Structure 1
Amino acid sequence: MSEPRVESVEINIEPVEVAQAGELLTLRRAAFVTEAQAYGDPNIPPLTQTLDELRADLARTDVVTLGAWLGHRLVGSVRVEFEGDKATLGRLAVAPDQQGRGVGTQLMFAILPHLPEQTTEIWVFTGKDSKENIADLDPDHAYEDQHDATTGKLTYAYLRKILAAQGKD
């Protein structure tokens, strides 16, 4: 039996700017610490990325990072990388005190207008034991498990969603 969900919050979602990299780094570290503990690996990429590496990533033209703000506070983010007709989501992070309030779901829907016109599929990767997180975010379960890949101590699950020809579900 799952826990009751807390009422969702009103957030403002917009791209994260390079000047906000420090705030984003803080959010990601807070959000991914429990995942690192669950996997027994404190060296997962969201926890080892440096501020300079994050600034460089935010400046890339083939990447969009959206942030969710509650007032002036960054409470969530998602990174989307574009390659041809494919968009790959990663680093979905929600502040620990805001988890279960719909922030992640709102971020997942907010990426759609940022997808290039030619995008036909969205890929998501997450720790193999965290696949339920994606299922929780997408009530239609439109993301299908594709394959697993191991990097270091972590095994990632790769899931894919095919977009409808019209309207990008």
Structure 2
Amino acid sequence: MTDATQASRITLVPDADAGELLTLRRAAFVTEAQQYNDPFIPPLTQTLAELRADLARDDVVTVGAWEGPRLVGSIRVELEENKATLGRLAVAPDMQGRGIGTSLLFAIIPYLPEAVTEIWVFTGKDSKENISMYAKHGFEQHHDETAGALTYTYLRRVLHEVEARSGTAGSADSRPG
């Protein structure tokens, strides 16, 4: 199995897996919290009830990557008219560096409504590895924005018409169906 296909299944995260998703995000975001010396970043403070409410929203899509029965990665997308905003891309610490995050970036495309023409993502300005990964996959730095003590870098990727409608940027295995 190649690194980019480490996850055996990528599908929507059901409410039944909310607890596992919460655990995955907390494990994955500890290093981000340490980097910014802020243990109160939203992925670490969100409650199970808040996460379940988020999973139930019509304007949010959460996709997970499983290796066997274990949830090893996830990505959350908030939809607004022609824009999708990625957030909380999380990969289990022991599974990082195997292409799961990249797989999730492309697996989300078939779940987007046809009206979506651009995908936005934000990460801490000092998260150089994250910024590099997004840039490698077609996201361009757009602007920085400060919220409290943190400065976020916002990146944007414009979807090409064929890619947006067919999901051709992802593998056939990642399409809903």
Q: TM-score, normalised by structure 1?
A: 0.91
Q: Which amino acid aligns with 1:160?
A: R
Q: Is the 8 Å Cα contact of residues 11 and 103 (structure 1) preserved in structure 2?
A: no
User: Is 1:26 matched with 2:23?
Assistant: yes
Aligned ranges for residues 117-128 of structure 1 at < 5 Å? 117-128=114-125
- Counterpart position of 1:82: 79
1:10 to 1:47, Cα distance in 2 relative to 1, 3 A: closer
Cα deviation, 1:7-48, whole Å, max 9, x if unaligned, reads 441420000111211100000000000010010000101001
Identical amino acids, percent of aligned pairs:
67
For residue 133 of structure 1, the aligned residue among 125, 130, 134 is 130
For residue 157 of structure 1, the aligned residue among 142, 153, 157 is 153
Q: Name whichever structure is richer in helix by fraction.
A: 2
Q: Is the 8 Å Cα contact of residues 7 and 72 (structure 2) preserved in structure 1?
A: no
Q: Which amino acid aligns with 1:39?
A: Y
CA distance in 1, matches of 2:94, 2:119: 28
SS at match of 1:129: coil
1:153 CA displacement = 2.0
CA distance in 1, matches of 2:63, 2:32: 21
- Counterpart position of 1:64: 61
RMSD: 1.5
CA distance in 2, matches of 1:115, 1:46: 23
For residue 102 of structure 2, the aligned residue among 100, 105, 110 is 105
1:130 CA displacement = 1.5
- Counterpart position of 1:3: none
- Counterpart position of 1:144: 140
Q: Which amino acid aligns with 2:40?
A: N
For residue 163 of structure 2, the aligned residue among 151, 164, 167 is 167
Cα deviation, 1:103-147, whole Å, max 9, x if unaligned, reads 00100010010010011000001111124324325634x111111
* Structure 2 unaligned blocks of 5 or more: 170-177
1:138 to 1:98, Cα distance in 2 relative to 1, 3 A: farther
Q: How many residues were matched structurally?
A: 163
1:66 CA displacement = 0.3
CA distance in 1, matches of 2:64, 2:127: 21
Q: Which amino acid aligns with 1:163?
A: L
Q: TM-score, normalised by structure 2?
A: 0.87
CA distance in 2, matches of 1:153, 1:28: 22
